[in-house]
Amino acid sequence: MQEKKIVVIPTYNEAENIKDLLLCVIHLKQDFDILVVDDSSPDGTSNIVQEMQKEYPNQIFLTIRKQKEGLGKAYIHGFQWALKYKYDYIFEMDADFSHNPKDLSRLYEACKAGADLAVGSRYSQGVNVVNWPMNRVLLSFFASKYVRFITGLPIHDSTAGFVCYSKRVLENLPLDQIKLVGYGFQIEMKFRTYCKKFKIVEVPIIFTDRTKGESKMSGAIINEAVFGVIKMKLMALLGKL
């Protein structure tokens, strides 16, 4: 039986990017289904996806949430949907082309070769980031250094949002207990995966900043990640993670 693969793409105001991105994924040699999790974008993102569903009804799926609750909540919703429909490999990818759709196949091959979680890493071989201002690069790079120092998580890019999970990882994580909702969500998912002793592999990628639409980064997201990491480590030490 052919393994089922799905790419979960959270969206909020991505009308400028979503059609082109979906077409790129659909036209890859390997078959990837797509689940768009839209937080009721006022720019009509979901309408574009619905039009594309008419042409690709068996590959493109859409869920619309009533309000914007953060990246983490959107991904948890997508993961639970994917598990419900028996997908073997579940991918995370941004909607803004910062992740190259062609690299989905490389993440999949890493999991096929034995990884439980394959991370598309910007920092496993130097710094592979294009079009970011230097302050953003430094913030992201040293955030991962900070996470590694506090938690012992042995990867170079703990905030990466381009990953592939094997089904058994998500089945064994308490998804309803994930606390962090911004970019800290990415850290918490990787740390919980590590604590469960699943195999994590980094796959080097080139990250290219969006050319259309607006970034969702904010100071609140950064603060959540900084203090959330400390709390997360304390919970692990107390056996409560």
Structural domains in the chain plus CATH codes: 5-237 (3.90.550.10)
Please report, in angstroms and rounded to a whole number, the separation of the first and last CA atoms in the chain: 35
Distance CA 225, CA 211 (A): 25
Task: Rounding to the nearest 10 degrees, give the CA dihedral for residues 129, 135, 138, 139.
Answer: -110
| 63: number of Cβ within 10 Å | 14
pLDDT of residue 213: 56
The one-letter amino acid code at 31 reads D
All residues at 6 or more sequence positions from 201 whose CB lies less than 8 Å from its CB, including other chains = 110, 114, 115, 117, 118, 119
pLDDT of residue 221: 63
Strands of the chain (E only): list them: 5-11, 33-38, 60-64, 89-92, 117-121, 129-130, 163-166, 200-204, 207-208
> What's the number of CA atoms in the CB half-sphere (13 Å) around residue 52?
24
How confident is the prediction for the chain on average, in pLDDT?
91
Residue 126, classed as helix, strand or coil, is: coil
Q: Which residues of the chain have pLDDT under 70?
A: 210-222, 225
pLDDT tens-digit profile of 81-139?
A: 999 999 999 999 999 999 999 999 999 999 999 999 999 999 998 888 888 888 888 88
pLDDT of residue 177: 92
Q: Give Cα 143 distance to the centre of its chain.
A: 17
pTM assigned to the model: 0.91
Distance CA 144, CA 138 (A): 10
Question: Residue 169 is encoded by which pair of tokens?
Answer: 């990882």
pLDDT of residue 223: 74
Question: Residue 233 is encoded by which pair of tokens?
Answer: 């480590």
